[in-house]
Amino acid sequence: MESFLNRYRNITVLLLVIFAQLVLLAAQVKNDQDVRVIRVWAVTTVTPVARVAEFFRGGGAGFFKRYILLHDASEENRKLREEVGRLRLDNTFLRNEISTADRAKALQVFQQHTQSKMIAANVIMTGVGANANTVYVNRGSSDGIMRGMGVITPDGIVGKIVAVYPSASQVMLISDPDFAAGVISQKSQAHGILRGQGNDPLCKVDYVRFEDKVEAGEVFYTSGDDRIFPRGFAVGVVKSAKDGTPFKEVLVEPTGIQHGVEDVLIIMESIHQAIPELPPANQPMYISPAPPAATTPEGQATTATGDATTISSGTEADKLRSIYKSAGEAQNHVFGTGLPGSKPPDFKNLPTTPGGPPTKSAAPMKPPATGAPAPAAGADNPGTRLQRQAQVPTPETPAKSAPSNAITDPSKAAPKSAPPKQIVDPSKAPAKTPAAPPKGPGGQPLE
Amino acid sequence: MSYSSGRILLNSQREGQISRFRTWVLFAVPLASILFQVYVPLFFHWLAFIEMPLLVVVYFALMRRSPISGLVVGAVVGLAQDSLSKNPLGMFGIVNTLVGYFAASVGLRIDVDHTFIRLLLTFFFYVFHEVFYWVLARSLLGQHFALELQRIFVLGLLNAVIGISLFHFLDRLRETS
């Protein structure tokens, strides 16, 4: 051995000196991912060993569990856990949407919604040191991982990628004192910055204004302000909130790392989602649509939205409209169905009451005194026809002039699918299209 | 005693004369070479092409005829250069270490007192220094600057000529035995 060292002393010293300077150089130089080269070398050297060790450990344990203890139960359990995690994400998303809108709208939004693109990863080793709040996952730059990507579980956020290596990535957990993420409370929408506290399992939320109301048990979600986590992912539950000046002292129990971190999801492309809302104090009530008019007895007042022919009270315009409508129905005419140029109903002999017998020279109402000469009886002109068509709503007009009560009106939920009969019913739009008798060019009512 | 002779290759390592220097020379000359490189170009910018530390490393490595001594001189001078540059520590260190080692190894087998040999070796080690630094900068630092071989050859020749003069001056500082 001594002769060997004497023989190769020069080259040995040369290699040692070169190696020492290479280490010195690698300790200073950073690669394009802003990671020092010596760390890249160290992780690249250690990671394959850890992967091999994990492979043999997992393989041995898996063999024991799958073939000796429970045949296929472990595999099934793993699949079920993956499915449960995925379903919990879907469930959270659906609950968020359903709590903020009606079911039809939520389903429509859900179909159009594209969730954040994620990639599954396994934790293969932890950071070095007793106070290490970092873990390494088995996804690296070869999988498209980049520095700054968020890491989550279905329960909540876990951390963010702080260093990327070819076959692994380093994740800074949210319990690390250097970690920071923008959060927002569920109830009061109070903004803050989540920070880890090292060995303390609780995280603190900084910069919550003292006038904001934050209570214990409230849930914090990611706000999306940090450009790392998309908005709407669970962060943790408030354990304590003390008043302070100028900011509150809020401690949060993180839900993402509460039960340890084994399988995680790395957010490749972020898509924000809504913060789930709490049930409001006065929820909107559902009001069913009005019963069909044909079932009510003639002349009996039913509901406020009933058929116009059964309304005994109302404005003069309503009465006049009912008279004209009954005259048209007596001649088997359906308003709104005639083509331009077709023969209009004969309004010469109008009944005095809706549904009553027609009279020869009935004057349903006095026209306003305009001073203009009245046209000849029975005279019809293009202007009259245009006005008459304007009174009878087309299938498109009721939807546009429908009442604006979007929550209680079921027809608003699916206006395009409503049957045409409901749409052309003039009683649906009494306010925006007030009924008026057909008038001539001088404002005289047509007879 | 004359160190120059008609032969270039030495029959054995025993024929090579190990030069000895005073201690202050081993510290003062490398220090002066580094000062020259960082200070003189402030006033005479056209002298910036002179790689004085490299010439000193080559000289001491050749004359000491000890690879370990040569690589140590190269490492120390190189690290000192690195510490005064904007590059990470180790770039010049690694290059000068290799230059010192190879120069000393060559000095074991060649009569380095010969002027032509000194000229040739200085030129060769200058080119080696520049090319290897370019490789290191490209591979370790990701710096992609051009390798101008023609310019390197010309400057290598100039440095070799200057090195001959410098070596004659440094020969007077060594102890005769």
Name the β-bridge partners of A267.
A118
Interface check B79 vs A, CB under 8 A = yes
CA distance to A7, A115, A306, A440, A444, per residue, from A370 (Å): 127, 65, 35, 12, 8
Which amino acid is residue A407, in one-letter code?
I
pTM above 0.80, yes or no: no
A123-162 exposure pattern, b = at least 16 Cβ within 10 A, e = fewer:
bbbeeeeeeebbbbbbbbbebebeeebbbbbbbbbbbbbb
- CA-closest candidate to residue B133, choices B76, B83, B87: B87
Q: Give me the pLDDT at residue B150, please.
A: 93
On whether any CB of chain A is under 8 Å from the CB of B91, the answer is yes
Structure tokens at A63: 């063999």
pLDDT of residue A429: 40
Q: What does the block give as tokens for A374?
A: 């009245």
- pLDDT given at position B60: 93
pLDDT of residue B3: 46
Q: Give B96's pLDDT tier (boundaries 50, 70, 90).
A: very high
Does the structure show a pLDDT above 90 at A5? no
C-alpha dihedral sign at A347, A351, A354, A357:
negative
Going by C-alpha positions, the residue among A178, A160, A180 that lies closest to residue A170 is A160
Mutation for A interface: B66, B94, B132, B136, most A CBs within 10 A: B94
Nearest residue, CB atoms, B68 vs list A13, A21, A28: A13
Least confident of A196-205, A314-323, B28-37: A314-323
**Percent of chain A scoring above 90 in pLDDT:** 14
- Amino acid A100: pLDDT: 54
Give mean pLDDT, residues A220-232. 88
A178 contacts A171 by C-beta, under 8 angstroms: no
Is B139's pLDDT higher than 50? yes
Give the model's confidence band at B129: pLDDT under 50 very low, under 70 low, under 90 confident, else very high.
Answer: very high
Q: How confident is the model at residue B86 (pLDDT cuts 50, 70, 90)?
A: confident
Q: Which two tokens stand for residue A11?
A: 């080259």
pLDDT over 60 at A409, yes or no: no
CATH superfamily of A114-269: Rod shape-determining protein MreC, domain 1 (2.40.10.340)
pLDDT surpassing 80 at residue B152: yes
Question: Which of A273-287, A363-377, B44-58, B163-177 shows the lowest mean pLDDT across its residues?
Answer: A363-377
Please name every residue paired with A266 in a beta bridge, in sequence order, or none if there are none.
Answer: A119, A151
From the list A115, A131, A45, A51, the residue with the least C-alpha distance to A265 is A115
Chain A interface includes B88 (CB < 8 A): yes
Instruction: Label residue B130 by pLDDT band (50, 70, 90).
Output: very high
Where in chain A is CATH 2.40.10.340?
114-269
Q: How confident is the model at residue A278 (pLDDT cuts 50, 70, 90)?
A: low
Angle at CA of residue A328, ends A323 and A329, nearest 5°: 100
The answer to whether the CB atoms of B71 and A28 lie below 8 A apart is: no
- In order of A49, A133, B94, the CA distances from A161 in angstroms are 21, 12, 34
Q: What is the mean pLDDT of residues B140-165?
A: 90
Inform me whether the C-beta atom of residue B135 falls under 8 Å from chain A C-beta atoms: no
**Residue A108: pLDDT over 70:** no
Q: Which tokens go with A404?
A: 């604006």
Q: Which residues contact A109 (CB under 8 A, 6 or more apart)?
A: A97, A101
Residue B157, pLDDT above cutoff 50? yes
Identify from A11, A18, A19, A21 which residue to disrupt to test chain B contact, counting B C-beta atoms within 10 A and taking the largest count.
A21
How many residues are listed for chain B in this entry? 177
Contact B75 A25 (CB under 8 A): no
**Residue A116 corresponds to which amino acid?**
S
Name the helix (H) or strand (E) containing A220.
Answer: strand A219-222
B75 and A21 in contact by Cβ < 8 A?
yes
Among candidates A14, A21, A32 on the partner chain, residue whose Cβ is nearest the Cβ of B67: A14
Which distant-in-sequence residues (6+ apart) come within 8 Å of B74 by Cβ? Answer: B57, B61, B93, B96, B97, B98, B99, B100, B101
User: Would you state the pLDDT for residue A413?
Assistant: 39
Residue A155 has pLDDT above 90, yes or no: no
Residue B89: closest CA among chain A residues belongs to which residue? Answer: A25
Choice among B2-11, B134-143, B150-159 with the minimum mean pLDDT? B2-11
A392 CA to centre of own chain? 39
pLDDT classification of A407: cutoffs 50, 70, 90:
very low
Q: Which long-range contacts (CB under 8 A, 24 or more apart) does A42-47 make?
A: A43/A136, A43/A163, A43/A165, A43/A168, A43/A170, A44/A165, A44/A166, A44/A167, A46/A125, A47/A124, A47/A125, A47/A136, A47/A165, A47/A167, A47/A168
B94 vs A: CB within 8 A:
yes
Burial A224-254 (b: 16+ CB within 10 A, else e): bebebbbbbbbbbbbeebeeeeeebebbbbb
Name which residue leads in pLDDT, A77 or B131.
Answer: B131
Region B111-133: mean pLDDT is: 92
Highest-confidence range of A97-101, A354-358, A438-442, by mean pLDDT?
A97-101
Using one digit for the tens of pLDDT, what is the confidence trace for A290-333? 676 655 444 444 444 444 444 445 677 887 888 888 888 888 77
* Eight-state DSSP code of residue A127: -
Which residue of chain B comes nearest to A38, CA vs CA? B140
pLDDT score recorded for residue B97: 95
Residues in A touching B97 (Cβ below 8 Å): 14, 17-18, 21
pLDDT of residue A46 exceeding 60: yes
Give the percent of chain A with pLDDT over 70. 62
Tell me the per-residue pLDDT of B1-31, one tens digit each, with 9 for 90 and over.
Answer: 344 445 556 655 555 567 788 888 889 999 9
Which residue did the predictor score with more confidence, A31 or A383? A31
Cβ atoms of B106 and B62 within 8 Å: the answer is yes
Whether residues A13 and B140 touch (CB distance < 8 A) is answered with no
Q: Given A14, A22, A29, which is nearest B101 (Cβ)?
A: A14
Q: Which residue of A has its CA nearest to B71?
A: A14
Q: Which residues of A touch B105 (CB under 8 A)?
A: 10
| Dihedral angle computed from the Cα positions of residues B12, B15, B19 and B20, in that order, rounded to the nearest 10 degrees | 90
Per-residue pLDDT at B7: 56
Cβ-defined contact of A21 to B94 (cutoff 8 Å): yes
Residue of B86, B141, B143, B144 to mutate, interface with A, max A Cβ within 10 Å? B141
Residue A74 has pLDDT above 70, yes or no: yes
Note whether B69 contacts A: Cβ–Cβ < 8 A. no
Mean of all residue pLDDT scores within chain B: 86
Contacts of B105 (CB under 8 A, 6+ apart): A10, B67, B70
Measuring CA to CA, which residue among A49, A267, A55 is closest to residue A153? Answer: A267
pLDDT category at A356 given cuts 50, 70, 90 is low
Q: How far is A255 from chain B (nearest CA, A)?
A: 42
More confident residue, A10 or A392: A10
